[in-house]
Amino acid sequence: MGEDEPPAAAHPEADLVESLAPRAVLDAGCGTGRVAIELTRRGIAVVGVDLDPRMLQRARRQAPGLSWRRGDLATVELARRFDVVLLAGNVVIFLAPGSEAAVVRNMARHLRPGGYLVAGFAVSLGYLPPATYEQLAADAGLLLVARYAGWERQPWTETARYIVTLHRRAAAPPPRATAPAPPGQS
Ligand SMILES: C[S@@+](CC[C@H](N)C(=O)[O-])C[C@H]1O[C@@H](n2cnc3c(N)ncnc32)[C@H](O)[C@@H]1O
């Protein structure tokens, strides 16, 4: 950065995602592209998905070259897997009530083995208790890696007003060595 350039605006969500060293990120419930655009600026390939066409229109206007898709997180099928699926900015509590399990399951399906599901949402509003969200993630086969009280990895306490969780899809088991065929059967 040159001396006359203003410092880049703080972007704790992007910082946390970048620290996981992903090559490809699904910004799930991307809204107007606030995080997707910043991650792209940092050289990370991002697909943004949102249900709301007005949000996507604004995202497209700001970053026409980025990959934006209209879709419902509960059912969308992108036919590829990501290193990180991000549910930032309270997406989890904006979901249609009752659809949370389907969304978490479908997002888990879009993770490559070893990939991370990262979610941040307000717990102070009382819409979705953290334990309920974490149970949905466990039911989707994900392992809890970390739980923070904010995007800057503030330590979690039971009185925190916001939660950021990192779950991970188990890495694929190493390929099993194939036993050599018995003599005469190859
Ligand atoms: C508060 S905004 C967060 C936007 C963005 N993630 C951010 O941090 O700036 C929540 C977004 O979730 C989207 N959303 C809610 N339910 C959805 C669903 N089932 N499928 C796709 N997007 C959804 C909304 O349209 C909205 O854009």
Ligand 1 contacts CB of residue 56 (under 6 A): no
Ligand 1 contacts CB of residue 119 (under 6 A): no
Ligand 1, pocket-test mutation among 51, 72, 93, most atoms within 8 A of CB = 51
pLDDT at 139 over 70: yes
Q: Where are the domains of the chain?
A: 10-169
Query: What is the pLDDT at residue 125?
Result: 82
Identify any residues that bridge with 37 across adjacent strands, giving them in sequence order: none
Distance 133 CA to ligand 1 centre (A): 17
The amino acid at 118: V
Query: What is the pLDDT at residue 4?
Result: 58
The ligand 1 atom nearest the CA atom of 74 = 19
Ligand 1 contacts CB of residue 15 (under 6 A): no
CB 139 within 8 Å of CB 109: no
pTM of the full structure: 0.91
Mean pLDDT of 72-89: 98
CB 39 within 8 Å of CB 61: no
Residue nearest (by alpha carbon) to ligand 1 atom 13: 29
Compute CA distances 83 → 53, 160, 179, whole Å. Answer: 26, 28, 32
Mean predicted lDDT score pLDDT of the chain: 93
**Looking at the domain that runs over 10-169, which CATH code has it been given?**
3.40.50.150
Task: Write the pLDDT tens digit of every residue in 8-25.
Answer: 678 999 999 999 999 999
